[in-house]
Amino acid sequence: MSLRVALIGYGFMGAAHSVGWRQAPAVFDLPDDVEMAVIVGRNGPAVAEAAAKWGWAESATDWREVIARDDIDIVDIVTPGDSHAEIAIAALEAGKHVLCEKPLANSVEQAERMAEAARVAAERGVFATVGFTYRRVPAVTLFRDLIAAGKVGKVQQVRAAYRQDWLVDPEMPLAWRLQKEHAGSGALGDIGAHIIDMTQFVTGQTVDAVSGVVETIVKRRPLQGEGSGLSGTAAEGYGEVTVDDVALFAGRLSNGALVSFEATRFATGRKNALTLEVSGDEGSLVFDLEDLNVLGFYDRTAPEQLQGFTKILVTEGVHPYISAWWPAGHILGYEHGFVHQAKDVVEGIAKGVAAHPTFEEGLTVQKVLAAVEKSSAEQSRWVATEAAVGTPADN
């Protein structure tokens, strides 16, 4: 059997997903063949160029026509968040399996509709997955496995941060990621969603309440001009930034443990610094995306003279995903998570299950994002994530 993939979107994430679909069949012994059938974008010449560069058989400019085709099996969505719900629901209703980039949607209401569409589709053997790709970095999957095996004991505290600096320059032009109607939120949803999902993934807990604040540091930026895809822009001048630049919040896990979260695009000098540390009563684990082949492990149960953080180089054949790649010690990079994602989606379809995280799991992250916005807007101490429906994020 051959699974034919349609990719909706062709920018940064389009390139990353293309690498995933191209490499997965070559590296892993997949149960089905994968064909990169068509890539879709509004700019005909640009998307045709992307098709030629990344190995898609053809390009198209109308996603609705592509979804209606009988020869498409998987729809991969890498568009801005404001179109996720419309495309994903239409694809599921058309009987196509769906992979959708994170965050799932721009609001809880949209995410709920997507999760319901995925539930109904699953009854017909059609499955949906959210692209929280960092779950599939081998060191992060091992992180999860070690906690599940009890290596840190009871989880007592978590520290999660995702820090970048690409917006520090106030003359950086206004882009779609800086407009709420397109992106939903700023640093909170774009990179904060990753550390929320990763925390829930590795601990096996849910974030049940939050208390936080969001802030927009640079409130006006130069317009990119015509053809930028932004709402209400002209060829010159400045436009309003309508999303956050920084989000700082505390979370309480379902087991009562506290989490400190930081998501920022204003951490000068930090390019893509995602860090996660989980402390338990018997040990700790620490991960840094900028050193993604390494996992730090502290074993509090070891003899006192041997205690200290151990550096685990996650490149051995016994580690998650590694056996299909290179000899021990030969490191992996950013793009490999997308290869692992394609592998898991294809294997899930063959097994008749949705690859994790499911749309329902994506909805839990959406509720946390909305609760943070609600907490910040109301200057409240704690907001339960289930109380987030009807918050500003839904508008």
The candidate with the shortest Cα–Cα distance to 270, out of 201, 213, 191, is 191
Cα separation, 239 vs 232, whole angstroms: 9
Residue 188 in 3-state DSSP? helix
pTM for the full predicted model: 0.93
Task: Provide the residue-wise pLDDT of the chain in tens; the chain has 395 residues.
Answer: 899 999 999 999 999 999 999 999 999 999 999 999 999 999 999 999 999 999 999 999 999 999 999 999 999 999 999 999 999 999 999 999 999 999 999 999 999 999 999 999 999 999 999 999 999 999 999 999 999 999 999 999 999 999 999 999 999 999 999 999 999 999 999 999 999 999 999 999 999 999 999 999 999 999 976 444 454 444 479 999 999 999 999 999 999 999 999 999 999 999 999 999 999 999 999 999 999 999 999 999 999 999 999 999 999 999 999 999 999 999 999 999 999 999 999 999 999 999 999 999 999 999 999 999 999 999 877 778 887 665 554 44
Cα separation, 159 vs 168, whole angstroms: 24
pLDDT of residue 121: 98
Q: What is the layout of strands, in order, in the sheet containing 283-288?
A: 310-313, 294-299, 283-288, 273-280, 155-163, 258-264, 246-253, 207-215, 383-384
CATH 3.30.360.10 fits 138-291+293-328, yes or no: yes
CATH architecture of 2-134: 3-Layer(aba) Sandwich (3.40)
Burial 236-271 (b: 16+ CB within 10 A, else e): eeebebbbbbbbbbbbbbeeebebebbbbbbbeebe
Cα separation, 329 vs 260, whole angstroms: 33
Cα separation, 26 vs 16, whole angstroms: 16
pLDDT of residue 233: 47
CB 227: neighbour CB atoms within 10 A? 9
pLDDT of residue 393: 47
Residue type, 29: D
Residue 328 in 3-state DSSP? coil
pLDDT of residue 227: 43
8 Å CB contact between 24 and 37: no
Q: Where are the domains of the chain?
A: 2-134, 138-291+293-328
Counting every residue written for the chain, the total comes to 395
What is the largest distance, in Å, between two alpha-carbon atoms of the chain?
A: 67
